[in-house]
C-alpha cells in the first residue's frame, strides 16, 4: 500500500474528532455524577420541595440529551469519514483494513444499542431516586 496524503488527513481528522468527543463525554460523565448526587440527596430527604424534584428531573433529562448528542456526534463523524474513505476508494486509492472497516459501517446506526441502554439506565436510576419514596 502506498502513502496517500488524503488518507492520512482523514485519519488525523478522525483522531482529532475522537479526542474532542472524549472531552465532551468526560464532561457528560461528570454531569451524570452530579445528577446522581442531586438525586441521592432527594432520595434521602423526605422533605424535598416539589420544585427541587422538577428542576432535578429537568437537569437529569438535559444531561441525558447532552450525552445522547455526544454519542450521535461520534456516529456522525465516523459516517462522514467512512463516506470520504469510500470516495477515495472509488478513485482507485488503496485503503487499509481499518479504513475498509469504517467504510463498511457507513449507513449503520449512529447510536449503538449499548449506548441507548447506558443512557436509559442512567435516566431510570436517577428518576427512580427522585420520584420513588424511600421504604
Any idea what the Cα angle at residue 55 is, between residues 29 and 25, rounded to 5°? 15
Q: Quick one: average pLDDT of 79-92?
A: 93
Residue 2: pLDDT band with limits 50, 70, 90: low
For the stretch 15-49, pLDDT in tens is 999 999 999 999 999 999 999 999 999 999 989 99
pLDDT over 70, % of the chain: 99
Per-residue pLDDT at 1: 57
- d(Cα 81, Cα 89) in Å, to the nearest integer? 12
Q: Which carries the bigger pLDDT value, residue 40 or residue 6? A: 40
| pLDDT at residue 118 tops 90 | yes
CA of residue 77 relative to chain centroid, distance: 12
Task: Print the domain residue range for 30.
Answer: 5-131
Q: How many domains is the chain built from?
A: 1
Q: What is the mean pLDDT of the chain?
A: 94
DSSP string, 40-89: HHHHH-TT--HHHHHHHHHHHHHHHHHHHHHHHHHHHHHHHHHHHHHHHH
Q: Which carries the bigger pLDDT value, residue 94 or residue 26? A: 26
- d(Cα 109, Cα 105) in Å, to the nearest integer? 9
Nearest of 94, 114, 112 to residue 103 by alpha carbon: 94
3-state class (DSSP) for residue 111? coil
Q: Which carries the bigger pLDDT value, residue 1 or residue 62? A: 62
Q: Quick one: average pLDDT of 97-112?
A: 90
Amino acid at each position: 500500500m502506498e502513502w496517500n496524503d488524503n488518507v492520512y488527513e482523514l485519519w488525523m481528522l478522525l483522531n482529532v474528532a475522537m479526542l474532542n468527543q472524549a472531552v465532551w463525554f468526560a464532561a457528560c460523565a461528570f454531569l451524570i455524577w452530579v445528577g446522581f448526587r442531586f438525586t441521592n440527596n432527594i432520595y434521602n430527604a423526605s422533605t424535598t420541595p416539589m420544585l427541587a424534584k422538577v428542576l432535578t428531573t429537568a437537569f437529569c433529562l438535559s444531561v441525558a440529551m447532552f450525552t445522547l448528542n455526544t454519542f450521535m456526534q461520534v456516529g456522525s463523524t465516523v459516517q462522514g469519514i467512512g463516506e470520504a474513505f469510500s470516495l477515495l476508494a472509488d478513485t482507485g486509492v488503496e485503503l487499509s483494513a481499518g479504513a475498509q472497516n469504517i467504510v463498511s459501517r457507513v449507513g449503520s446506526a449512529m447510536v449503538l444499542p449499548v449506548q441507548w441502554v447506558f443512557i436509559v439506565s442512567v435516566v431510570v436510576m436517577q428518576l427512580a431516586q427522585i420520584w420513588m419514596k424511600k421504604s
